[in-house]
Amino acid sequence: MNKAQSSKSGAAQESAWETVIGLEIHAQLATRSKIFSGSPTAYGAAPNTQADLVDLGYPGVLPVLNAAAVRMAVKFGLAIGAQIAAQSVFARKNYFYPDLPKGYQISQYELPVVAKGALSIVLEDGTTKRIGITRAHLEEDAGKSLHEALPKLTGIDLNRAGTPLLEIVSEPDLRSAKEAVAYMKKVHTLVRYLEICDGNMQEGSFRCDANVSVRRAGSDKLGTRAEVKNLNSFRFVEKAINYEVSRQIELLESGGRVVQETRLYDPDQGETRSMRNKEEANDYRYFPDPDLLPLVLGREEIEEVRRSLPELPDEKAERFASEYALSGYDAGVLTASRELASYFEALVREIGGEAKLAANWVMGELAASLNREGLEIGKSRLAVGQLAGLLRRITDKTVSGKIAKDIFEEMWSSGRDADAIIEEKGLRQITDTGAIERAIDEVMATNPRQLADYRAGKDKLFGFFVGQVMKATAGKANPAQLNELLKKKLSS
Amino acid sequence: MSIYRSSLVQLAKGLRAGEFSSVELTRSLLERIRVHQPQLNALVSVTQDGAFAQAAAADRELAAGRAGPLTGLPIVHKDLFCTQGVRTSCGSRMLDNFVAPYDATVVARLKAAGTVMLGKSNMDEFAMGSSNENSFYGPVRNPWDVRLVPGGSSGGSAAAVAARLVPAATGTDTGGSIRQPAALCGVTGIKATYGRVSRYGMIAFASSLDQAGVISASAADAALMLRAMAGFDPRDSTSVDRPVPDYVESLERPVRGLKIGLLKEFFEKGLDPENERRVREALAVFEKLGATLTEVSLPSIALSVPAYYVVAPAECSSNLARYDGVRYGYRCKDPQDLMDLYKRTRGEGFGAEVKRRIMTGTYVLSAGYYDAYYLKAQKVRQLITSDFERAFAQVDVIMGPTTPTPAFEIGAKIADPVTMYLNDIYTIGANLAGLPAMSVPCGFVGALPVGLQIIGPHFAEQRLLNAAHLYQRETDWHLRIPAGYE
């Protein structure tokens, strides 16, 4: 087969293969201190200033479990309908690496705190799919090796060592890069809803490893997988998986065989590269950490966490759809983050209903302005009260929707309130019937030819008259009133 | 009586009565250490300046009437307790240059109680050994016969107390490391219940077995020390939050009616007949005091040595992984790359026995061997614990020999690890089950002291100290001092 044929038949080949993906997501828990020590977890401090003797693995020191991290893990478990283990066990994963101070990582192995949960994602065709979550376990992060900072030397920064992580392991239920991204986004939304992770992917607070394999369509046997490590953006997840899938299919099509190995995604080259294969893999010699007692969680403790759960994204979207009569799509967009949802709800409250209007403005002008400046809703230049002030002027017909958009821009850039701008610029809508009629009479008088044409049956000229009257009133004529009066006058 | 022959209890009285000051006491013992240390090698550090400073502070407390029961009393710490600003070597080249930046909880508590630290005691490297021959600083010698081992791993603490260089010392016991040297040196040693004394700052050998304790001349002195050391520590997740009884106040309670279990398996093969006689004579003393003797059996106890030599090395292989030459401690010269750094640092920094146990531990945790070794050993451990529970349903304490024989010659067993390991055959069970256990001097085999072991149920330290104290009121074995040190 020559190259041209190969690429031409690519799509057909890919449909002959099924992709199987499982994700291991690492969510850094938003605790104030580390999982086994009292050092702070804040990001970006000078190297090794946020590591105490426990984080540095000094002789004689002992780990003490951070109760807040446990609570966060339980929160997550309850939110995905998982089993919360009455007893889970911390184990040591033993390997040597300079940024791993103790020579082992404390993790959970045989008995994780959370097991057997699920999330559902919405596929492109609008259907939903359930993705199983095998387990979620608590563990400590390692430090960082800094290869660039010092010539010919490796620097070690242990600020990150001991940061609490929740590793969320999915079943191999994902069938495409798009599904994987949808699932990862879903988990991302959830952990932020639960306020257990800041979700900051640039800082590595939320990242994943993807286990990717392919098999002949219809086969129920899993193919050999490669694990692509440390993907820290949704875009990289999609690109890395797609690259990996093509690589494996090409390999199998050409009679080769996929090796079980760990691979690294290089975003600059857009490819994955082998890190180490199974033969070189460590034997981690897991065993229960004798410095930590089994983590025992009582029913009451778990129920107490359950009572503290916020309304979850899916529940909220459903409620939005029914309570505010929104489409499923709108409800989904407005509940994508807890902050956005509460902004929307506060806005609806302020303007006394008019949910559709509020939704249109939040998803329209507001979202566009936020996107333009790369801002989160929490950093919006317009407080809920300010936007409400503008929307109230629409509902009480002080301004038209069109004028309101101009006012919004002005508000966004100056931070001033709608009323002040309306007053200063005289944007109050003209609702005085007499004033609108005078404007219409004037336009009719100065455009006799158009008037004649319209009356001769050229209906299209109606728009011309609307435009002229609007121009004459500087856009302030109430559009509905104008329509009504104009129709009456033109045909009389 | 010479000041150095006094017990902690007597010294505390003397300090209060103004018979001598803590500074004088300290000076006198430091002089004694200066004389005998070259021969015994019981200490790896003598902290003279710190000792005088602490003694002077104690004298001020005494003068102000603010002194507690331990104020001004000199002690030494086994060199695996981290001591802020003082080298904490763990008997290893690996930590020869390690100055601890913090105090272990045991050290902090004894410091707060007003004790004066004279130095740090020698030990088997990383507490691995039964003879104190595995120290980077050379073997400790037994004051009863300097050709013999003092036992280990707390051999320095035991030899120092036996030679009356210091009235009391801290120790740790993972498989007998307090009781065995106490027996071989003719002094009193107690290892607390697992979880009774904080392990924070106690450099780990085998975390699920390690427990701190005291080596002293008498049970009364041990009670005084342990009362200050014990108690919950939020920095040690395995320490138990449970009130500490007043071990001193309860020392004189009569033992009439105490049910003593004689451990059948401890009197079977391997026990030196003379050693056995001394133990039976001690039991007769208890009978005279009104205690009753019953035979009890721990059917699984024979498996304790093999189970121990799986669990302890497994934990040690992981605990000692942190000594990699990166952050502190020994680092090999001019490492070529990371692998070279690891290999040579660890190869040069650790001694033979430590390496043997790291290798064994790594092996038993490896994929494919874990179930056969580590998991099975944990099951055996459970069986042994259940055996003890059943026995303690019938009796209040279990008694027997601490060791099969008295002290042996330096060099006699070092080439044969298995023979060496069998020295711990009577002591390991208490560690596997997490029980408190003591050794008290109960006479001599030839010219060498041997010990009576007393094991109790969890948190029965009070009962052990009480029984040992009453025994010591009837006997004077604990008052015997080796020739040349009187």
- The pLDDT, as a whole number, for residue A278 is 58
3-state secondary structure of A281: coil
Give the length of chain B.
486
Q: Is the pLDDT of residue A61 over 90?
A: yes
Q: Is the pLDDT of residue B187 over 60?
A: yes
Q: Looking at the partner chain, which of B199, B326, B328 has a beta carbon nearest the beta carbon of A62?
A: B199
Q: Is the pLDDT of residue A469 over 70?
A: yes
pLDDT, one tens digit per residue, over B216-225 is 999 999 999 9
- The pLDDT, as a whole number, for residue A349 is 95
CB atoms within 10 A of CB B224: 26
Q: Is the pLDDT of residue A2 over 70?
A: no
Cis-peptide, bond into residue B153, ω within 30° of zero = yes
Which of B76, B52, B67, B75 is CA-nearest to residue B14? B67
Q: Which residues contact A314 (CB under 8 A, 6 or more apart)?
A: A120
Which of A324, A331, A3, A41 is CA-nearest to residue A205? A41
- The pLDDT, as a whole number, for residue B311 is 98
The class that CATH gives domain B3-252 is alpha beta
For the entire predicted model, the pTM comes to 0.90
CB contacts, 8 Å: A38 with chain B? none
Q: Residues A213-222: what's their mean pLDDT?
A: 92
pLDDT higher for A273 or A10?
A: A273
Q: Give the number of beta-carbon pairs within 8 Å between A and B.
A: 98
**How confident is residue A152, by pLDDT bands cut at 50, 70 and 90?**
confident
Q: In angstroms, rounded to a whole number, what is the distance separating the alpha carbons of residues B181 and B162?
A: 10
- The pLDDT, as a whole number, for residue A281 is 66
Residues B322, B327, B330, B336: what is their CA dihedral angle, to the nearest 10 degrees? Answer: 100
Least confident window among A142-146, A278-282, A482-486, B256-260: A278-282
Asked if B95's CB is within 8 angstroms of A94's CB, the reply is no
Dihedral sign of CA atoms B461, B466, B471, B475 in order: positive
Q: Residues B294-300: what's their mean pLDDT?
A: 96
Mean pLDDT score of chain B: 97
Minimal Cα–Cα distance from A83 to chain B, Å?
A: 25
Mutate to test the interface with B, among A97, A278, A287 (most CBs of B within 10 A): A287
Q: In angstroms, rounded to a whole number, what is the distance separating the alpha carbons of residues B329 and B320?
A: 12
Q: In angstroms, rounded to a whole number, what is the distance separating the alpha carbons of residues B486 and B484?
A: 6
Asked if A94's CB is within 8 angstroms of B321's CB, the reply is yes
Q: Give CA separation, B92 vs B36, B54, B79, B174, B350, in Å.
A: 23, 27, 10, 17, 7
One-letter amino acid at B428 equals: I
**How confident is residue A126, by pLDDT bands cut at 50, 70 and 90?**
confident
- The pLDDT, as a whole number, for residue A5 is 40
One-letter amino acid at B466 equals: N
Domain boundaries, chain A: 10-299, 310-425, 433-491
The residue behind tokens 């002959």 is A16
Residue of B nearest to A154 (CA): B338
Residues of B annotated as catalytic are 78, 153, 177
Beta bridge partners of A114: A84, A136
Mutate to test the interface with A, among B98, B324, B346 (most CBs of A within 10 A): B324
Q: Is A185 exposed, middle or buried (0-12, 13-18, 19+ CB in 10 A)?
A: middle
* B318 at A interface, C-beta within 8 A: yes
Q: In angstroms, rounded to a whole number, what is the distance separating the alpha carbons of residues A137 and A142?
A: 16
**How confident is residue A9, by pLDDT bands cut at 50, 70 and 90?**
very low
Q: Residues B380-393: what's their mean pLDDT?
A: 98
Q: Is the pLDDT of residue A10 over 60?
A: no
Mean pLDDT score of chain A: 91
Reported ipTM: the value is: 0.96
Q: In angstroms, rounded to a whole number, what is the distance separating the alpha carbons of residues A304 and B313?
A: 41
Dihedral sign of CA atoms B113, B114, B120, B123 in order: negative
- The pLDDT, as a whole number, for residue A430 is 80
Dihedral sign of CA atoms B378, B379, B382, B384 in order: negative
- Contact in structure between A210 and A179 (CB atoms under 8 Å): no
Q: Is B119 exposed, middle or buried (0-12, 13-18, 19+ CB in 10 A)?
A: buried
Q: Residues A322-327: what's their mean pLDDT?
A: 94
One-letter amino acid at A66 equals: N
pLDDT, one tens digit per residue, over B15-52 is 999 999 999 999 999 999 999 999 999 999 999 999 99
Q: Give CA separation, A4 vs A7, A284, B369, B392, in Å.
A: 5, 46, 53, 83
* B379 at A interface, C-beta within 8 A: no
pLDDT, one tens digit per residue, over A155-203 is 899 999 999 999 999 999 999 999 999 999 999 999 999 999 999 999 9
Pick the CATH number of A433-491 from 1.10.10.410, 3.40.1550.10, 3.30.420.40, 1.10.3720.10: 1.10.10.410
**How confident is residue A492, by pLDDT bands cut at 50, 70 and 90?**
confident
Q: Looking at the partner chain, which of B82, B104, B362 has a beta carbon nearest the beta carbon of A285?
A: B362
